[in-house]
Amino acid sequence: MASKGFIRLKTLAIFGGEPIFDRTLHVGRPNIGKREGFLERVNDMLDSRWLTNNGRYVRELELKLAEFLNVKHVVATSNATVGLEILMRALDLTGEVVLPSFTFVATAHAVQWLGLKPVFADVNANTHHLDPTSVERMITANTSAILGVHVWGVASDLEALADIAEHHNAHLLFDAAHAFGASYKGQMIGSFGGAEVFSFHATKFFNTFEGGAVTTKDDALADRLRHMRNFGFSGYDTVDSVGINAKMSEVHAAMGLTLLEGLDDVIATNHANYHAYRDGLEDIPGLSLYTFDEAERNNYQYIVVSNDEEQSGISRDVLVDVLHAENVLARRYFYPGCHQMQPYSNLYPDAGLLLSKTERLTQQVLSLPNGTAVFRDDIAKICDIIRYTVSHGPEITKLLAKD
């Protein structure tokens, strides 16, 4: 790690200095894999003129993902949001779906889009996952499903949620957008609950440009999902159900196959960066890094820091402002919480009364850049910026307030 203490107040860009980084460091900057392999697949599909409609590369990607995840069925989709939507429609969900507010808004939007009612439950302050006690409290006679979210690539409280779902005869589903390549008790995430939905968006460490997949061990459900993603077609010119265009194209699948070939290298980079952040952020007052159980498989994509303002002496948002000025585009997650966004804040104005831990986390959490475009020296500088900012918190906060 670089030596600490190279920063002075006058060198911070937010106070007139030049940004420490002459390039922008992003959270979720895409990994692209080896271009040669990708372009070879693109040329092949152009020669074959089979660009979409369940072509060779989509079928190959589904098979390889099923093998990697050790799950019976993988149904590739155009994105994870549509994957969630066709999954809930395929299960004929009605009434209410219990889910966290501490998640990307697409989770709630998928529920609302289908005319279902999202019911927000609180999370565990330490794990950031659905709190089973809160879930139990939010269950009603109208609850048809519990939708857990594996935030940061770490499994939800699977056993407790499964018990609650079984007791109330509700479906248990998981938004696994963050969790590709992660395991729980040695079993790969993807085969828990009735089904799980992955995101392969460009910001994910494994991406297909845009894309997603639904995984399940249920034969009938998988068959229905495949029909629904292709307008309800069950044959060449036979439509037997309502469907939509949720298909993944060949070029998207080609990107996924290319990145699968170098997946171990990407995870190794993320892992090394995670440890560099652990070392660099150690002992900074009020800051805690979200840690991973290294006995499990992890993708280590998310470098998540919680800031306790009472201990650090600086708000999370001031810290983010300073980092942004230095070209480090840290992100506030999941600010301000789905229940504070539209249309939910109007539809359920009192939801926050039962979401105290969620509301606290949305004021504390930030995510830092990681991935193959972030290097050890970058991390050392980021940590030095954070350390200096926290150590001069009152002074920096006061100067910013004047502006």
Buried b (16+ CB within 10 A) or exposed e, 380-395: bbbbbbbbbbbbbbee
- C-alpha separations of 325 from 24, 329, 382 in Å: 10, 9, 12
pLDDT for position 316: 97
In this structure, what DSSP letter does residue 71 have?
-
Q: Are strands 171-175 and 195-199 parallel, antiparallel or unpaired?
A: parallel
Q: In this predicted model, what pLDDT tens digit does every residue of 10-61 receive, in sequence order?
A: 678 888 888 999 999 999 899 999 999 999 999 999 999 999 999 999 999 9
pLDDT for position 1: 43
Crossing angle of helices 250-261 and 35-48, in 10° steps, is 150
In this model, does residue 132 exceed pLDDT 80? yes
Q: Hey, how many other C-beta atoms are within 10 angstroms of the C-beta on 118?
A: 23
Q: In this predicted model, what pLDDT tens digit does every residue of 227-250 receive, in sequence order?
A: 999 998 988 888 888 999 999 999
- Residue 106, classed as helix, strand or coil, is helix
Runs of H (alpha helix) within 91-127: 105-113
In this model, does residue 402 exceed pLDDT 80? no
For residues 277 and 303, what is the distance between their CA atoms, to the nearest angstrom?
8
Q: DSSP letter string over 129-162? A: SB-HHHHHHH--TTEEEEEEE-GGG----HHHHH
In this model, does residue 3 exceed pLDDT 50? no
Q: In this predicted model, what pLDDT tens digit does every residue of 272-324 receive, in sequence order?
A: 999 999 999 999 999 999 999 999 999 999 999 999 999 999 999 999 999 99
- Residue 304, classed as helix, strand or coil, is strand
Q: Are strands 303-307 and 365-368 parallel, antiparallel or unpaired?
A: antiparallel
pLDDT for position 236: 84
pLDDT for position 77: 98
Which residues, at least 6 apart from 264, have a Cβ–Cβ distance to it below 8 Å?
none
Residue 2 pLDDT level (bands cut at 50, 70, 90) = very low
Residue 6 pLDDT level (bands cut at 50, 70, 90) = low
pLDDT for position 403: 60
Q: Hey, how many other C-beta atoms are within 10 angstroms of the C-beta on 64?
A: 16
| Contact by Cβ (8 Å): 371, 270 | yes
In this model, does residue 71 exceed pLDDT 50? yes
Q: In this predicted model, what pLDDT tens digit does every residue of 160-171 receive, in sequence order?
A: 999 999 999 999
Crossing angle of helices 80-90 and 105-113, in 10° steps, is 40
70: left (phi over 0), alpha (psi -120 to 50) or beta: left
Q: Which domains does the chain have, with CATH numbers?
A: 9-31+263-330+369-402 (3.90.1150.10), 35-261 (3.40.640.10)
For residues 313 and 402, what is the distance between their CA atoms, to the nearest angstrom?
18
Containing 39, the helix (H) or strand (E) segment is helix 35-48
Name the amino acid, one letter, at 69.
Answer: L
Name the amino acid, one letter, at 72.
Answer: K
For residues 350 and 271, what is the distance between their CA atoms, to the nearest angstrom?
40
